[in-house]
Amino acid sequence: MLHRADDVQQVFSLMKRPDLDQVILLTSSASATAVVPLLAKVRGVVSESGGMTSHLAIVAREFNLPCILSAELEESDLEGRRVVLQEDGAIAAAAEPR
């Protein structure tokens, strides 16, 4: 599930989730350091900015996490929903389980 983590308050809220290992983080800044404590526990990370040499890309690579940078999406449509990170950088809503 895609969940926004742009500030410390959102990060603390996510840390309390029992399903944190199923969360894909969404952040507006690829230089965000607030999300680092979550990286060992989440499924992936998406940033609306950044490139291959940004801080988030380097740290995500160290955690062997899928990471999409400079994503253009309407997160209001995807926030809280199950998503699939595709190899071409696309983010698609996953089929809901029956």
Q: Which residues contact 70 (CB under 8 A, 6 or more apart)?
A: 47, 48, 49, 50, 51
Distance in angstroms (rounded) separating the CA atoms of residues 88 and 43: 18
Fold of 2-93: Glucose Oxidase; domain 1 (3.50.30)
Summarize pLDDT for 18-77 with one digit per residue, the tens. Answer: 999 999 999 988 887 889 899 999 999 999 899 999 999 999 999 999 998 988 776 567
pLDDT band at 89 (very low <50, low <70, confident <90, very high): confident
**CA-CA-CA-CA torsion for 52, 53, 58, 60, nearest 10 degrees?**
-30
Instruction: Tell me the average pLDDT across 68-91.
Output: 77
- Identify the bridge partners of residue 92 per DSSP, sorted by sequence position: 84
Domain ranges in the chain are: 2-93
pLDDT band at 13 (very low <50, low <70, confident <90, very high): very high
Q: Which residues contact 89 (CB under 8 A, 6 or more apart)?
A: 68, 71
